[in-house]
Amino acid sequence: MRLNMKLEHKNILVDNVNIHYVESEQSTDETALRPTIIFLHGFPEYWGTWSAQLNFFSPYYRVIAPDLPGYNLSDKPDDVSFYAVPNLIGFMAKFIAAISPTQPVILVAHDWGGAIAWPLAAFHAQLISKLIIVNAAHPSTFTREMMNNPLQRKKSAYIHQLISASGESLLTQDDYRYLSEDIMVSTNPSVFTADVKARYKQVWGQQGAINGMLQYYRAMPQLAENDTDNQRCKVTAASSLDTSATQNDTTKSSPVKQASQLKVPNIRINVPTLILWGEQDLAFVNENLDDIHHYVPNCIIKRFQDTSHWLQHERPDEVNVAINNFIND
């Protein structure tokens, strides 16, 4: 999508890690008066996934969209422990506090951005006035589905390819064919045009970007064994979401753990929340929304029946309206 507003490309240092982000170009006086919306992208994207939202909201809000650590123009720490969820929660909390030190922000997040945003809203609620999640499973319901739902395990089986020894070569071979043709599969073939894919290939081609993106999966707190039979899956200890963990707490062994180590995290969120959910998601089963109010009591769900994981690309106008209505309610 062509951006109609002017964006400033900025950088901020958080714990000696440089984060690149874009911000709507406004005068200092305007910025001080406008609420801030921060948009967090997922895999395998960058700040530009939110182009339609940046266009729509920039006249009325201070809009900010970072490249997550490991992606595009942001720094890409080498240590896999940096990408452990507890560390990312604390890191992004510091980013938000630095971006908006005097008022809470509206946080919008997709995919891995959502995996960070959910516990951020639980453990740093003072930073967030409202939360909007776009096709990102809540960590508690996702762990539950990975335990009990063979279809979720099947949908997540691609992760084993990503974290294998050949994962990086898989993503880069044949001009990033796996990413552009197998991962970014849309219900609307006109969404990911040749021009859009060319821009993504520039993002993926940044030095260290492929390794940085894969680090999230290498450190993820839930990973089921491949279902080679009908046995109950084995999942990593979701208790690793304990925010007291440090960068050095991440296990150096395989991320696949025994079932005896499993604990579904009790991640409860009181921040007003809107979930926008495309029901044709190839990564998440729709059962991730079952009983979500147990963990997020102040929650509204809006479903899109014929839409995939890439909801903000496929239905940008409806996404914008839904977010705007929720913010102003």
pLDDT of 205: 98
Q: Structure tokens of 84?
A: 């452990």
pLDDT of 228: 47
pLDDT of 236: 39
pLDDT of 189: 86
Condensed to tens digits (0 to 9), the pLDDT of residues 73-126 reads 999 999 999 999 999 999 999 999 999 999 999 999 999 999 999 999 999 999
Separation between Cα atoms, residue 58 and residue 156, nearest integer Å: 35
Residue 291 DSSP class: T
Residues 6+ apart with CB under 8 A from 71: 41, 45, 46, 203, 209, 212, 213
Residue 66 pairs in a beta bridge with 21
Condensed to tens digits (0 to 9), the pLDDT of residues 271-315 reads 999 999 999 999 999 999 999 999 999 999 999 999 999 999 999
What fold, for 7-328?
Rossmann fold (3.40.50)
Mean pLDDT of 228-239: 39
Residues 6+ apart with CB under 8 A from 242: 86
Give the pLDDT band (50/70/90) at residue 265: confident
Nearest CA among 287, 284, 329, 325 for reference residue 308: 284
pLDDT of 242: 44
pLDDT of 251: 36
Determine the 3-state secondary structure of 5 from DSSP. coil
Question: Where in the chain are the domains?
Answer: 7-328
Q: By percentage, how much of the chain surpasses pLDDT 70?
A: 84
The pTM for the full model equals: 0.90
Question: In the chain, at which residue ranges do the beta strands (DSSP E only) sit?
Answer: 7-14, 17-24, 36-40, 62-66, 105-110, 128-134, 273-278, 299-304
